[in-house]
Amino acid sequence: MAQLWGGRFTKETDRNVYLFNASIEFDKRLYKEDITGSMAHAKMLEKQKIITTEERDAILKGLEGILTDVESGALEITDQYEDIHSFVEANLISRIGDAGKKLHTGRSRNDQVALDMKLYVREQIGEIDSLLLQFQKILYRIMEENLDTYMPGFTHLQKAQPVTLAHHMSAYFEMFVRDRSRLSDISVRMNTCPLGAGALAGTTYPLDRECTASLLEFIEPTRNSMDSVSDRDYVIELLSALSTIMMHLSRFSEEVILWNSNEYGFIEIDDAYSTGSSIMPQKKNPDIAELVRGKTGRVYGSLMSMLTTMKGIPLAYNKDMQEDKEGTFDAIDTVKECLMMFMQMIDTMKFKKDVMAQSAVNGFTNATDAADYLVKRGMPFRDAHEVIGRLVLACIEKHKSIDEMTLSELKEISDTFDEDIYEAVSLETCVQKRLTTGAPGVEAMKKTLATYKSYLNENIS
Ligand code: ARG
């Protein structure tokens, strides 16, 4: 047990207490951030003449060596250390001796861990954002290829009005636009550097906090030292944004599961992205989609647990806050894995265009257009709604769709109907005449795609 404290104690920590208290098992993933923060701190200490140039150089060389050895596997991070900060410091001291003992001047593990976590979250936000961008590019390709792939649009899971596959995919594209903008808002808001806040009340050493902030590419140092070490808002905001991403992925998953069912049969999931049954040879299961839907729960769980952990903590740092890590790491890993798996499944999926179009023609998805036809011939919409309601009832009795009714059958319902009704309620007309901004008609969708194209070009990373 290598600990950073001990002077005040006369007895060793109980082994189980040590293990209960330790965070090395999960904060070891912050080794790079811890070393990066320490390097910036050492540079600033030298600039402020708190340590000598030789001491700084020794520290930087020692830290670089630790980083290289951890990455090559030559140096293992073991539970001999309480946390990643103790691990790095103890290794530094054993490599460079006394100069290593000066690194912690004007610093506390409280501002150190706040910094490490911010650096980590900031980097992960970038990675999740580029996964979302990659997914949007796949959706864009599907949209371009399916501007006139007709399918039913649903409300209450009942066929409502026909749309296109491009239009349907565009709805998810929009969700991911908002998800990405949430991530970017968070990365701006959280981009202040807590280093130099010390344990809670700053320090008497003449630290240059602006210097460390700029070395670490933060906009500026945090303004209040107590807030600096006890703020985990950005973790909560991230978990909330991740929960929303999972909620979107989960809805998408639900649709893939439905579309893959025998009843819908809209899609064929690629063999590489589906699984079979150990007993039923005919099965091809949408396991990826089901797992993504299922994993949504654990990301929501991390958000709830962090909100609950933080709610009763008096200022400033308290050990409760060590609980920020496991849930956040798990949520980040889960979202990244789900995004990767899900987008590959979507990218390789085949859409059965005929089945989709066939499904769009039955189920009276053109009933609204039939009512609009009567309105265009002078009938008030409320009356037209009533007439078409009666028409649908008659169709159900005759087991026919609206366009299968003969003109005389239609005229029995209302003599406003004429030959041109068939054109007016055809699948093509129903979709193509919908040209308002954001609507599924090809010309409207082309405009939407043009805005996506410039959005994606601006976002080439
Ligand atoms: N492992 C701790 C954490 O994750 C590091 C900070 C410890 N500070 C302290 N005063 N015990 O929050």
204-262 tens-digit pLDDT: 999 999 999 999 999 999 999 999 999 999 999 999 999 999 999 999 999 999 999 99
DSSP state of 275: B
For position 5, what pLDDT does the model report?
65
How many Å apart are CA 165 and CA 270, to the nearest integer?
Answer: 18
Q: Burial letters for 320-347: b for 16+ Cβ neighbours within 10 Å, e otherwise?
A: ebbbbbebbbbbbebbeebbebbbbbbb
CATH superfamily of 359-456: Fumarase/aspartase (C-terminal domain) (1.10.40.30)
- What is the three-class DSSP state of 319? helix
For position 290, what pLDDT does the model report?
97
Q: Look at ligand 1, atom 12, and give the residue with the nearest C-alpha.
A: 322
The amino acid that residue 223 corresponds to is: R
How many Å apart are CA 390 and CA 312, to the nearest integer?
Answer: 61
Pocket-forming residues, ligand 1, beta carbon under 6 Å: 23, 27, 83, 109-110, 113, 317, 319, 321-322
For position 1, what pLDDT does the model report?
63
CATH topology of domain 15-105: Fumarase C; Chain B, domain 1 (1.10.275)
Same fold, 15-105 and 359-456: no
Asked if residue 165 lies in contact with residue 146, where contact means CB atoms within 8 angstroms, the answer is yes
Range list of β-strands (E), 62-210: 150-155, 158-164, 192-193
Total residues belonging to the chain? 461
CATH topology of domain 110-142+164-352: Fumarase C; Chain A, domain 2 (1.20.200)
User: How much distance in Å is there from the Cα of 316 to the middle of ligand 1?
Assistant: 12
Nearest to 441 by CA among 451, 432, 449, 428: 432
Rg, C-alpha atoms of the chain: 30
Assigned token pair, 81: 């250390």
Q: What is the dihedral of CA 274, 278, 281, 284, to 10 degrees?
A: -20
Residue-wise pLDDT for 92-101, tens only, equals: 999 999 999 9
For position 13, what pLDDT does the model report?
85
Q: Which atom of ligand 1 is closest in space to residue 23's alpha carbon?
A: 1
Q: Which of 83, 235, 318 to mutate to test the pocket of ligand 1 (most atoms within 8 A of CB)?
A: 83
Under-70 pLDDT residues of the chain:
1-5, 460-461
How many Å apart are CA 223 and CA 167, to the nearest integer?
Answer: 47
Asked if residue 377 lies in contact with residue 367, where contact means CB atoms within 8 angstroms, the answer is no
Beta pairing, strands 150-155 & 350-351: unpaired
> Would you kindly state where each structural domain of the chain is located, as residue ranges?
15-105, 110-142+164-352, 359-456
How many Å apart are CA 184 and CA 459, to the nearest integer?
Answer: 12
Q: Which atom of ligand 1 is closest in space to residue 199's alpha carbon?
A: 10
For position 2, what pLDDT does the model report?
64
Q: Which atom of ligand 1 is closest in space to residue 321's alpha carbon?
A: 12
Asked if residue 13 lies in contact with residue 1, where contact means CB atoms within 8 angstroms, the answer is yes
User: How much distance in Å is there from the Cα of 110 to the middle of ligand 1?
Assistant: 6
User: How much distance in Å is there from the Cα of 87 to the middle of ligand 1?
Assistant: 13
Cα diameter, the chain: 102
Asked if residue 38 lies in contact with residue 100, where contact means CB atoms within 8 angstroms, the answer is no
For position 11, what pLDDT does the model report?
82
Q: Look at ligand 1, atom 2, and give the residue with the nearest C-alpha.
A: 322
Q: Look at ligand 1, atom 11, and give the residue with the nearest C-alpha.
A: 319
- What is the three-class DSSP state of 118? helix
User: How much distance in Å is there from the Cα of 112 to the middle of ligand 1?
Assistant: 9
User: How much distance in Å is there from the Cα of 374 to the middle of ligand 1?
Assistant: 72
Asked if residue 116 lies in contact with residue 30, where contact means CB atoms within 8 angstroms, the answer is yes
For position 93, what pLDDT does the model report?
98
The amino acid that residue 336 corresponds to is: K
For position 9, what pLDDT does the model report?
79
Distances (CA, A) of 226 to 35, 41, 172, 188, 265: 23, 19, 41, 21, 58
Q: Which atom of ligand 1 is closest in space to residue 317's alpha carbon?
A: 10
Active-site residue set: 156, 277
For position 284, what pLDDT does the model report?
81
Is the pTM here over 0.85, yes or no? Answer: yes
